[in-house]
Chains A and B, each alone.
Chain A
Amino acid sequence: MEQLVRNKPPESDPAGFMPVSDIDTGVIPIRTSGRGMLQVAVDETRRTAALKAPVKARAEALDFFYGDLKALKNLNMDIREKQVTALIGPSGCGKTTFLRCFNRMHDLTPGTRYEGRIMLLPEEINLVARNIDPIEVRMRIGMVFQKPNPFPKSIFENVAYGLRIRGVRSQIRIQEEVEKALRGAALWDEVKDRLPNSALSLSGGQQQRLCIARALATSPEMLLFDEPTSALDPIATARIEELIAALREQVTVLIVTHNMQQAARVSDYTAFMYLGELIEFDETSRIFTNPGQKATEDYITGRYG
């Protein structure tokens, strides 16, 4: 019973939701995970906003099958708007499978099947329903992969691609949107003089930010990150993490990471998954200082259960 209660983040209050305008001041708030004795440095405004954020997407009794293998078992979880939610768990726990459901990446794998729903709010669209066009889903929910995968085209064309697919014709509009997306991905200053160059001439960290810019260009509501920094060095990793912190002013972020410290640093909420099930879902500060489930504790502290 207690677990059920704890798995549920506090009720949202859309009317009382006040976005924190850190972007106005250009200051990224100091965030440290913590409660109890560690609570000193928690930014209370940020915290309150997190509690009041409305739900952006909701998994309801979601099952997922690879053929006969049930990879996700009855997942129920709320993703809060303009918050970062991290998915953690050992390899094979289903976190990436779950993430990929959000933009229908499984559709091309034969023999896969969704049951249950992932509702995108406020419209209440079931993302995994057959009658919903995956292309439309991917316009609204972008994805960034483990390894940077820019198209073998120019830097400019990489970002413009989504807009062209969307049917944007105006050159001026495309130029504006590309600049906006590159700025949003904190890459503009580094590439503004070499936009026609091949995207493959960029460094790994820059390529990853280019992929983020590409995802941002279609103004998505949600961004999915699948271990976005596992192939990057610590400096490029820090840049991406900064970027994720800034991005959540505009979009809802769902991130899979194997790096516990990264999950603790960048996310507001953390879900721990194991063998296809959601074991614990709570505020990140809580998960990393005082988790409710022993399995979570054993995993994040590096113990065997």
Chain B
Amino acid sequence: MSTALHCPHDRIVLPVYGEGLIIYKHQDDGSYCQLLNRFATTIDDILYSDMAGILSTKRYMHFCKLGATLEEIKKIDMEQDGCLIEFMLIFRRSYTARREVFAEIARLCSEKVFSENLEAQCLFYLVAVVYTEPRWRQTEREYQKLLEHLFKAYGQQFTEGLSIVLKKGEKETGVFSSLLKELRFMQKYVFPLRQADKYSLLQ
């Protein structure tokens, strides 16, 4: 197992003594890590930076397998020593991190069309599959908030996007059936007047 410490920017850091304090410096260029050394850092900043690191380095590509269930992806993540746990945790807890993920999907789609963009498909599928985590449903109120955020981001395009990823057409898959049902419910009864999604998935 790797025993190097990584900062939220995914760079190796070393603690050193300086000015009577313990300071964390990046090993590659000796610069100070702002997040670890700053006294005014908040937990939200850390979670956001962690997610930004995962997205920028595309570490999700290592363990995300299109069409696999969450349990299968967890096994792959365990073998690869990946960051699925961090991704799920931060995605659930941080609104700004979620927004960053949705924006990243849109950005990837703007570079290359979704149907041919493996990175965008992996990230989109990962977002969809983490919603099937049973522990997330333990607090219904929080789960509904997560669902609402997903709906506002890609609700109208979700079914089509999922079918592209799964290549099974319009038929609902067993794993995602309850998620799709809840999104449809939201579309019909909670946000009936909403016409367009916040981000564009399918150009």
Q: Do chains A and B stick together as partners?
A: no
Which residues does B use to contact A, with CB under 8 Å?
A: none
